Amino acid sequence: MSMAAAVETQLPGDRISKRNFERLARFIYDYSGIKMPPTKLTMLEGRLRRRLRATNHATFDDYCDFLFNQDGLAQETIYLIDVVTTNKTDFFREAKHFDYMQSVALPAIAGSGVRTIRTWSSACSTGAEPYTMAMVLAEFAEGRNDVSYSVLATDLSTDVLQTARRGIYPEDLIAPVPRDLQRKYVLTAKQPERREVRITPKLRSRIGFARMNLMDEKYPIGEPMHVIFCRNVLIYFDKQTQAGVLNRLCDCLAKGGYMFIGHSESITGFDLPLKQVSNTVFQRI
């Protein structure tokens, strides 16, 4: 059958109907805060096809009936959210943030008498951000007896958390990591043809990974954090959702602590207990 013939004979159920798209978009927004405008329809169809196969549903109509009329959301929510989240990540992404963290934030925090610097990557994706944070922290703490550190790394997606915990990456992904840090914190594969690297067990052991939804009313992070990274997440939320997330993050940030957001993001117009100290870097007041 030609491609043209296949399109002509496509069943209506092979596309997401307007009604079902609206139901999916509303659920995704209510659960995760992620906006799903009509321009995302084709993307959503492509990403959900594997869920149709995994749940043995022949059409999108059947799948949506399973979700919304047969209590399928109880078992499918985690997988549904996994396929719609965006997971671009790089080591030392927006490198000026890590320069500021190393040269200004960490010395100020340690200078205030903090013995254990608590840090949080609140949308850690596949792990490049928290591992970069851990490298910077390890370098800062090296040779010092007066300071230690911890890194909490959370994300909504179980898929990316699994990758992050393993700490195995294509070797080209670590190109932004300075050579001296690669030698200390990155292991190369014993089989060069695999072209993979792995973060050292010692550095991996300093990071606690957990699933967390930034839409939740409270973030169970324990004691306040001294550094919070929430980068390139706010852009997916509307203003109301941004306000809620930012206020909850501020509740988790110790006075004098630092919050880093993405270079394309802004907190202008929000009433927050923060002052700007550098480009997209803010301090709790």
Q: Tell me: is residue 23 an annotated ligand-binding position.
A: no
Q: Tell me: is residue 280 an annotated ligand-binding position.
A: no
Q: Tell me: is residue 214 an annotated ligand-binding position.
A: yes
Q: Tell me: is residue 87 an annotated ligand-binding position.
A: yes
Q: Tell me: is residue 20 an annotated ligand-binding position.
A: no
Q: Tell me: is residue 145 an annotated ligand-binding position.
A: no
Nearest to 214 by CA among 140, 124, 96: 124
Nearest to 140 by CA among 122, 123, 171, 119: 119
Under 8 Å between Cβ of 233 and 208: no
Q: In 55-91, which residue ranges form alpha helices assigned H by DSSP?
A: 60-69, 73-84
Q: Of residues 51, 118, 155, 284, which has the active-site annotation? A: 155
Give the contacts of 193 (CB within 8 A, at least 6 positions apart).
none
> Which pairs count as long-range contacts for 109-115, CB under 8 Å and 24+ apart, including other chains?
109/226, 109/227, 109/256, 109/257, 109/258, 110/140, 110/144, 110/146, 110/147, 112/256, 114/147, 114/226, 115/146, 115/147, 115/148
Count of CB atoms situated within 10 Å of the CB of 284? 22
Q: Known catalytic residue: 271?
A: no
Q: Known catalytic residue: 155?
A: yes
Q: Tell me: is residue 89 an annotated ligand-binding position.
A: yes
Distance from first CA to last CA of the chain, Å, rounded? 66
Under 8 Å between Cβ of 204 and 167: yes
Cα 211 to Cα 38: distance, rounded to the nearest angstrom: 28
Q: Of residues 15, 47, 49, 198, which has the active-site annotation? A: 47
Under 8 Å between Cβ of 215 and 31: yes
Binding-site residues for S-adenosyl-L-methionine, in ranges, read 87, 89, 93, 129, 155, 213-214, 231-232
Binding-site residues, in ranges, read 87, 89, 93, 129, 155, 213-214, 231-232
Question: Catalytic amino acids?
Answer: 47, 155
